[in-house]
Amino acid sequence: MTTIQNHLSAVRARIRAACQAAGRSEDAVTLLAVSKTFGAEAVQEAFAAGQTAFGENYIQEAVQKISALSHLPLTWHCIGPIQSNKTRLVAQHFDWVHTVDRLKIAQRLSEQRPPGLPALQVCIQVNMDGGASKSGVPPEDALTLAQQVATLPNLRLRGIMSIPEPAPDFEASCAIFNRVKALFDALNARGLVMDTLSMGMSADLEAAIDAGSTMVRVGTAIFGGRNYFH
């Protein structure tokens, strides 16, 4: 096995252990491998070990990779901030978007989704802890935005996504993830039908799974440290 494949098994073992500890079924959590800054070969290595869902932040970089690997049965998730002038590329190339935090972006994605492709699967990004540097809708605005997104013809609302500030320990991490889960449940109780709670990364996936995450987004623990050229 290659290094990436070894790392992937280790991450899967962490997810299994976290599901067991939380009394959840092992298939309740999907692993999204975050391949940003890594090349198509790294994605292929992960695919050879059974990984099919990949997350990317930088649209141009992602589109090259997606095109180079179009012969493989992969699903691509956009997890980076989206500017208006990038919505067309996102609508054309991705299967999922986790970072919708404005109606205008959602409308453009729906309008620009090419006919013939299935609906774009969408999560609303929520800024749960008010982290100033981060995108995301404030929790009190999530219901309205989610209801609006649910009406757009070429999008399918799947859930919410959050990136809390790094917490000092497991308990503190759980506390903030529990608030995201409570919001998710409250939105579903208001009539939305969402099945995806996208939260947890390399450093805090155990706490996220404890709180009810259904999709963890893991980069470093699979592919190693990143060099940024962006």
Ligand X SMILES: *Cc1c(COP(=O)(O)O)cnc(C)c1O
> Under the criterion CB under 6 A, does residue 34 sit at the interface with ligand X?
yes
Selected binder of ligand X within 33, 106, 201, 209 (CB under 6 A): 201
* Burial (Cβ within 10 Å: 0-12, 13-18, ≥19) of residue 200: buried
Angle made by CA atoms 162, 165, 170, in degrees to the nearest 5: 95
Q: Of the ranges 11-19, 69-77, 185-193, 195-203, which one interacts with ligand X (CB under 6 A)?
A: 195-203
β 75-78/215-218 pair status:
unpaired
Asked if 219 and 34 touch (Cβ cutoff 8 Å), the reply is yes
Closest of 96, 32, 93, 36 to residue 67, by C-alpha: 93
Tokens 């299935």 map to which residue? 118
> Under the criterion CB under 6 A, does residue 62 sit at the interface with ligand X?
no
> Under the criterion CB under 6 A, does residue 220 sit at the interface with ligand X?
yes
Selected binder of ligand X within 5, 30, 44, 57 (CB under 6 A): 57
Q: Which is nearer to ligand X, 147 or 172 (CB)?
A: 172
181 token code pair: 């889960």
Q: Which is nearer to ligand X, 38 or 184 (CB)?
A: 38
* Whole-number Å distance between alpha carbons of 113 and 68: 21
> Under the criterion CB under 6 A, does residue 136 sit at the interface with ligand X?
no
Strand stretches in 103-230, DSSP E: 120-125, 155-161, 196-198, 215-218
> Under the criterion CB under 6 A, does residue 217 sit at the interface with ligand X?
yes
Q: Of the ranges 44-52, 115-123, 139-147, 217-225, which one interacts with ligand X (CB under 6 A)?
A: 217-225
> Under the criterion CB under 6 A, does residue 29 sit at the interface with ligand X?
no
> Under the criterion CB under 6 A, does residue 159 sit at the interface with ligand X?
no
> Under the criterion CB under 6 A, does residue 208 sit at the interface with ligand X?
no
Selected binder of ligand X within 163, 174, 192, 208 (CB under 6 A): 163
Q: Of the ranges 68-76, 102-110, 146-154, 196-204, which one interacts with ligand X (CB under 6 A)?
A: 196-204
29 token code pair: 């959590």
* Whole-number Å distance between alpha carbons of 111 and 154: 7
Q: Which is nearer to ligand X, 7 or 113 (CB)?
A: 7
Contacts to ligand X from residues 72-101, by CB under 6 A: 79
* Whole-number Å distance between alpha carbons of 230 and 224: 18
Residues engaged in binding ligand X (CB under 6 A): 34, 36, 57, 79, 163, 201-203, 217-221
